Amino acid sequence: MNLINLLKIAFKALSNNKLRCFLTMLGIIIGVASVITMLAIGQGSKNSIRDQISEMGSNMIMIFPGNMQRGGVRQSSDNMETLKVEDYKALSTVPGVAAVSPSVQSSGQLVNGNNNYPSSVYGINSDYLDIRKLKVKDGSMFTDHDVKAAAKVCILGKTVVDNLFPDGTDPVGRVIRFGKIPMTVIGVLESKGTNSMGMDQDDIVLAPYTTVMKRILAIDHIQGIFASAVNEDDTEATISRITEVLRSNHKITEGSENDFQIRSQQELSEMMNSTSDMMTILLACIAGISLLVGGIGIMNIMYVSVTERTREIGLRMAIGARGIDILSQFLIEAVIISVTGGIVGIILGCLATWLVTAIAQWPVDIRMYSVGVSFLVCTITGIFFGWYPARKASNLDPIEAIRYE
Amino acid sequence: MNEIIEEIIIEEGSEIIRVENLRRHFKVGDETVKALRGVSFTIRKGEFVTIMGTSGSGKSTLLNILGCLDTPTSGEYILDGLSVQSMSRNRRAVTRNRKIGFVFQNYNLLPKTTALENVELPLLYNPEVTAKERRERAVKALEAVGLQERIYHKSNQMSGGQQQRVAIARALVNDPVIILADEATGNLDTRTSFSILTLFQELHDRGSTIIFVTHNPELADYSSRNIVLRDGKIITDTINPSPLSAKEAFEALPKDTD
């Protein structure tokens, strides 16, 4: 008995019962389509969370001065002056650190002619753009020379530009005032929109940290350090190395508290990922259950089919079908139902996913693996649930089967 | 007399079936039902044997054993030189496929399937037969039963007689050493019965060996040998040197007078 003959027999048997065959398939179709759609929605929301986090810089490490007691009084970390320019310089040589920038910040009123706008000026160096994933759209970033010279230059975010130059003039080359200090605009940042917390990421003014420290704030400590790890997975190790360097620089003895704190996006990203993972698992469970129900549907129909076709089975055996031939025939019928249902389900699932994006505008992502897995699962379902009825058929006694009424 | 019989047998050719002291017991609850109690006979190539008996005589059990559907409790069964009682289930299936053609009382055709596909069925279970050969042989078998005009008719679009002809074509298609007919005319009216019987006689004339199991004593007159069973034993085994012609009987029947 070769495979072609078997397929022929199975197809013939199925085509004699088209409606029933289709209804059985429907269970698998709905199961597979829902698995694909659910996983696509789950994966899509996971992707959008990941994108939002990496927009902020997923490998970003932030170092702030820590709480500390001074003479028994706990101080707010804002007042702490524990981070120095030397710390930032020391960190640039720590292995695993891709970029590092000091940070000082001053809020105040920006003025350009008749227009004014309250914003914050961030004193940083040119690495900051890499760390925060910012880009200069027009003009250029300030140079190391500008940093050394504490040049009175700045780069504006889009929101600031819109407020200071509402008539649409090109801000590059114009001089604006921050408080009393005139600053030349040398660049405009590419717009990033709001972040996942709803903060406007374009409401920002960048200037050399030396300018902000010396000319605006007149301080000799820095308020924070931004660094980025070479890659996301390395963040944890890099943080511990940074901690070590800072502790030794600050001469902190063993067992004493750090006088700084380090934060990364890692925890945030893990938390959000686990939330969306849970959602994906939940959706996949629901979809999996419907696939199981579809499988039971196959078993049910195959079972009825075996009883109904007892005489046919008896005849096939009488004219020379072996047990294995009967088993294969029924198994192949089950697999044809489930695989055809699977293919239709995959097409329908893709269609449904497309509709979800088109109508509800949800982010979706169909992964090849989800298609592969659901196809595999429905094939296995066919074999698994087809097996028992097929076995029953192949074990029939031909003498009794052929006289079955 | 004995010499004459022997001569006829030798003329008719080689041994197809030999059963010796065949016994078949069934356990029903605590009781043992002895369906066959030592049956022995030999059937040679070209014989047309009717096996008769009332219900309970053991003829169905004998047919099942001869058809390799069942194995005897004891005794020997040699089919075309092969010992059947030592065969595995699968081996018996293959033997049925290659050596036996079954014709059943209720035709047992696949529903919603064409005559051609029904006749091709036994060859589908024989991997040595190619698709082309299968078709050719099925068409030839259908021609042999006079259904060449109806090869694409579906089984449920045919009359009982036509369905039985398809079933006979199906039994012929694998070129069996023996055709086993189980009450093959039992479901048919008299006219159609005789036309089917005519077909069997034609096949017999062309060299087929046929065993026809029936409870209808009339049919014995149309076969070349008649075995009668009662209570699991052979009570008579007679050669019929001049069988009646079913064709003549058919023609003698009144035409549809209704």
ipTM value of the model? 0.89
Residue in A closest to B96 by C-alpha:
A320
Percent of chain B, pLDDT > 90?
A: 64
Question: What is the extent of the structural domain holding A339?
Answer: 3-52+271-402
- Between chains, do A5 and B127 touch, taking CB under 8 Å as contact? yes
Check whether residue A144 and residue A189 sit in a common domain.
yes
Q: What is the reported pLDDT for B203?
A: 92
For residue A158 the two structure tokens come to 């889009």
Last residue of some domain: A230, A264, A298? A264
Check whether residue A99 and residue A222 sit in a common domain.
yes
For residue A366 the two structure tokens come to 């169909």
Flag whether pLDDT at B49 surpasses 70: yes
Check whether residue A291 and residue A322 sit in a common domain.
yes
Assign B55 to helix, strand or coil: coil
The confidence band for B121, taking pLDDT boundaries of 50, 70 and 90, is very high
* Distance separating alpha carbons of residues B10 and A20, to the nearest angstrom: 58
- Between chains, do A12 and B102 touch, taking CB under 8 Å as contact? no
Higher confidence at residue B81 or residue A252? B81
Check whether residue A144 and residue A253 sit in a common domain.
yes
The stretch A267-289 carries a mean pLDDT of: 79
The stretch B184-194 carries a mean pLDDT of: 89
Q: What is the pLDDT of residues A284-319, one digit of tens each?
A: 788 788 888 888 888 888 888 888 889 999 999 999
Compute CA distances B57 → A283, A327, B68, B231, whole Å: 66, 35, 19, 5
Check whether residue A111 and residue A191 sit in a common domain.
yes
Chain A residues lying within 8 Å of B124, measured CB to CB: 1, 5, 8-9
Q: What is the pLDDT of residues A111-159, one digit of tens each?
A: 988 888 998 899 998 888 888 888 888 888 888 888 888 889 999 998 8
How many beta carbons lie within 10 A of that of residue B62, not counting itself?
27
The confidence band for B167, taking pLDDT boundaries of 50, 70 and 90, is very high
B257 to chain A, closest Cα gap in Å: 34
Flag whether pLDDT at A229 surpasses 60: yes
The confidence band for A72, taking pLDDT boundaries of 50, 70 and 90, is low
Q: What is the reported pLDDT for B55?
A: 85
Q: Which amino acid is at B14?
A: S
Check whether residue A240 and residue A276 sit in a common domain.
no
Flag whether pLDDT at B6 surpasses 70: no
Chain A residues lying within 8 Å of B174, measured CB to CB: 319-320
The confidence band for A89, taking pLDDT boundaries of 50, 70 and 90, is confident
Give the pairing type, strands A175-178 and B100-103. unpaired
The answer to whether A312 contacts chain B (CB < 8 Å) is yes
Residues of B with CB under 8 A from a CB of A: 64, 67, 69-70, 89-90, 93-94, 96-98, 102, 104, 108, 110-113, 117, 121-122, 124-127, 131, 170, 174
Q: What is the reported pLDDT for A279?
A: 81
Q: What is the reported pLDDT for A153?
A: 92
Closest CB to A1: pick one of B108, B125, B131: B125
CA of residue B149 relative to chain centroid, distance: 25
C-beta of residue A315 within 8 angstroms of C-beta of residue B108: yes
As beta bridge partners, residue A69 has A74
- Between chains, do B110 and A398 touch, taking CB under 8 Å as contact? no
Q: Where are the alpha helices (H) located in A228-322, listed in sequence order?
A: 235-249, 266-308, 310-318
Percent of chain A, pLDDT > 70?
A: 94
- Between chains, do A323 and B121 touch, taking CB under 8 Å as contact? no
Chain A residues lying within 8 Å of B180, measured CB to CB: none
A393 to chain B, closest Cα gap in Å: 15
The confidence band for B52, taking pLDDT boundaries of 50, 70 and 90, is very high
The answer to whether A173 contacts chain B (CB < 8 Å) is no
* Distance separating alpha carbons of residues B183 and A212, to the nearest angstrom: 110
Q: Which amino acid is at A325?
A: D
- From the number of C-beta atoms within 10 Å of its C-beta (0-12, 13-18, 19+), residue A107 rates as exposed
* Distance separating alpha carbons of residues B155 and B151, to the nearest angstrom: 10
- Between chains, do B89 and A322 touch, taking CB under 8 Å as contact? yes
**Residue whose token pair is 């068409």:** B139
Extents of the domains making up chain B: 12-250
Flag whether pLDDT at A108 surpasses 70: yes
C-beta of residue A44 within 8 angstroms of C-beta of residue A314: no
B2 to chain A, closest Cα gap in Å: 38
Compute CA distances A251 → A81, A256, B70, whole Å: 15, 10, 96
Check whether residue A350 and residue A299 sit in a common domain.
yes
Last residue of some domain: A264, A289, A323? A264
Q: What is the reported pLDDT for B187?
A: 86
- Between chains, do A322 and B70 touch, taking CB under 8 Å as contact? no
Would you list the DSSP string of B39-50? EEEEEETT-EEE
* Distance separating alpha carbons of residues B216 and B222, to the nearest angstrom: 12
Q: What is the reported pLDDT for A13?
A: 83
- Between chains, do A319 and B125 touch, taking CB under 8 Å as contact? yes
The residue among A3, A315, A325 with the most chain B CBs within 10 A of its CB, best to mutate, is A315
Assign A271 to helix, strand or coil: helix
The confidence band for A35, taking pLDDT boundaries of 50, 70 and 90, is confident
- Between chains, do A318 and B102 touch, taking CB under 8 Å as contact? yes
Flag whether pLDDT at B211 surpasses 60: yes
* Distance separating alpha carbons of residues A83 and A86, to the nearest angstrom: 8
Q: What is the pLDDT of residues B7-39, one digit of tens each?
A: 444 455 788 999 999 999 999 888 999 999 999
A334 closest CA partner among A300, A287, A365, A367: A300
The answer to whether A308 contacts chain B (CB < 8 Å) is no
Check whether residue A121 and residue A251 sit in a common domain.
yes
The stretch B48-60 carries a mean pLDDT of: 90
> Half-sphere exposure of A201 toward its Cβ, with a 13 Å CA cutoff?
19
**Residue whose token pair is 């709480």:** A67
The average confidence (pLDDT) of chain A is 84
The answer to whether A8 contacts chain B (CB < 8 Å) is yes
**Residue whose token pair is 């039992």:** B186
Domain count, chain A: 2
Check whether residue A310 and residue A381 sit in a common domain.
yes
- Between chains, do B174 and A320 touch, taking CB under 8 Å as contact? yes
Last residue of some domain: A223, A238, A264? A264
The stretch B235-240 carries a mean pLDDT of: 92
Check whether residue A140 and residue A245 sit in a common domain.
yes
The answer to whether A325 contacts chain B (CB < 8 Å) is yes
- The pTM assigned to this predicted structure is 0.70
What sign results for the dihedral spanned by CA atoms A275, A278, A284, A289?
Answer: negative
Q: What is the reported pLDDT for A68?
A: 62
Percent of chain A, pLDDT > 90?
A: 13
Q: What is the CATH number of domain B12-250?
A: 3.40.50.300
The residue among A11, A16, A319, A394 with the most chain B CBs within 10 A of its CB, best to mutate, is A319
How many beta carbons lie within 10 A of that of residue A135, not counting itself?
13
The confidence band for A244, taking pLDDT boundaries of 50, 70 and 90, is confident
Closest CB to A321: pick one of B93, B98, B111: B93
Chain B residues lying within 8 Å of A395, measured CB to CB: none
Q: Which of residues 240-269 of A touch B (CB under 8 A)?
A: none
Q: What is the reported pLDDT for A363?
A: 82
C-beta of residue B123 within 8 angstroms of C-beta of residue B137: yes
- Between chains, do A323 and B90 touch, taking CB under 8 Å as contact? yes
Flag whether pLDDT at A79 surpasses 50: yes
The answer to whether A313 contacts chain B (CB < 8 Å) is no
Check whether residue A99 and residue A172 sit in a common domain.
yes
Q: What is the reported pLDDT for B256?
A: 64
The answer to whether A311 contacts chain B (CB < 8 Å) is yes
Check whether residue A231 and residue A212 sit in a common domain.
yes
B228 to chain A, closest Cα gap in Å: 22
Chain B residues lying within 8 Å of A320, measured CB to CB: 93-94, 96-98, 122, 125-126, 174
* Distance separating alpha carbons of residues B144 and B167, to the nearest angstrom: 12
Q: What is the reported pLDDT for B1?
A: 46
B3 to chain A, closest Cα gap in Å: 39
